[in-house]
Amino acid sequence: MSDQTEYDLVVVGGGSGGVACARRAASYGAKVALVEGSRLGGTCVIRGCVPKKLLMYASQFGAQLRDGLQPGWVVHEASFSMQAWQQAKQTEIDRLEGIYAKMLQNSGVEVLRGWASLPDANHVQVGQTVLATRRILIATGGTPNRTAFEGLDIAPTSNELLDLTELPAHIGIVGAGYIAMEFACIMRGLGARVSVYYRADLPLRGFDLSLRQRAAEAMQAQGIELHPHSDCKKLERVSDQFVLHTQTGAHRFDWILNATGRSPNTEGLGLDRLGVRLGAAGEVLVDEWNRSSVPGLFAVGDVTNRVNLTPVAIAQGRALAENEFNGKNLTVDHNAISSAAFTSPPIATVGLTEEQAAASGPVRVFETAFRPMKTAFSGGNQQTYMKLVVDDRTDRILGIHMLGDDAPEMIQVLGITYVMGATKADFDRTVAVHPTSAEEWVLMREISRRV
């Protein structure tokens, strides 16, 4: 195969963004090869979003059995087996990887297994095989950070957590982003004691302040131990325990999770010898059309460190294929992306935070907080919180934020209204569906504050 065939596109990385681009390009008649050294599906399918949400379902079910049964129901002798869940998860992930392989095969994309390097901007080497190509797409995603403080390299990451066959009694978590807080809620819901250590005053940096405050309160109400302003100095293994040293002393755990973030996965590709411009975190710097500083070399997804979400990588990959092989001129608007953290309760958002919106002009803020009917009837205390940030000059909705059950599902639809430029008046004249939690979005009339 060495240099005998010239490809129109070689994709390095078999995750969501790379697969989406490869399939779309092939649909327009391009000759495409995709290189993957691990499993097809990437972080999201194999060791990220999908198995995490499967474990979240198990956790929520257990919490409902303990605290959320509706009046009249009694359940006897329910128990959770991490090993049984693990076996079911492996079966499901194998099935999904098979679907990815089949989709690529049916699309006419040639798949090569192995680790890629780039001798130059027109060749990709995989073992002893060298592929000649007109275009190269880097879609290698990210990898966990392991250097924040001494000893962190011995800590398991979310990769290992999702492969556990036994539930640890006491888990320490270092970090306060999506991964840290989602797994804190999941493991607590399964019955583990959970302690979270982070430098900031609140978890989930980047979300609206109101959501962050309420999320922290909800987690503490579940028994999750939050340790803000923690200065983690060292991690070591002592016998069968992990010992985390902070400014307040030594803290022992049966298991620990390194959730200090992820960095672009560019090491070993040889991008430096090609003169590809990289950012401070090692990310491939690209323009709005996903073009790097080297002609013919592109990058999408987490390796570019822009908005590190699976649907964003897919949108970028498909836009690239449309532009290169279907004569389009598409870009992805990174300012209008809905996102969610699958904590307990989940939070979801689209648009600007209150602080961001107020920095550019006067805004009106509308809020509501309540106990949903299902929760109130079962005797629970979990709150739902909703917030609209409105431009006081144009009446346009600038930010939509929610904490509560079904927040991720609602924000997907509400994101459409945001992209369309909906106003508060549009919400006000929409008739409610009763009784639902979602009706509160169109019933908020009282202004909480003007900023």
Which residues belong to the active site?
A: 434
Helix axes 16-27, 310-325, angle to 10 degrees: 30
State the DSSP code for 379.
T
Please work out, in degrees rounded to the nearest 5, the angle formed at the alpha carbon of residue 332 by the alpha carbons of 308 and 281. 35
Q: What is the rounded CA–CA span in Å between residue 30 and residue 12?
A: 16
Sheet of 225-227: strands edge to edge?
A: 225-227, 193-197, 170-174, 255-258
Nearest to 144 by CA among 128, 158, 129, 161: 158
User: Strand 193-197 and strand 225-227: pairing?
Assistant: parallel
268-298: b or e for each residue (b if 16 or more CB lie within 10 Å)? ebbbeebebebeeebbbebeeebbbebeebb
Tokens representing 69? Answer: 């049964």
Helices (H), 68-134: 82-107
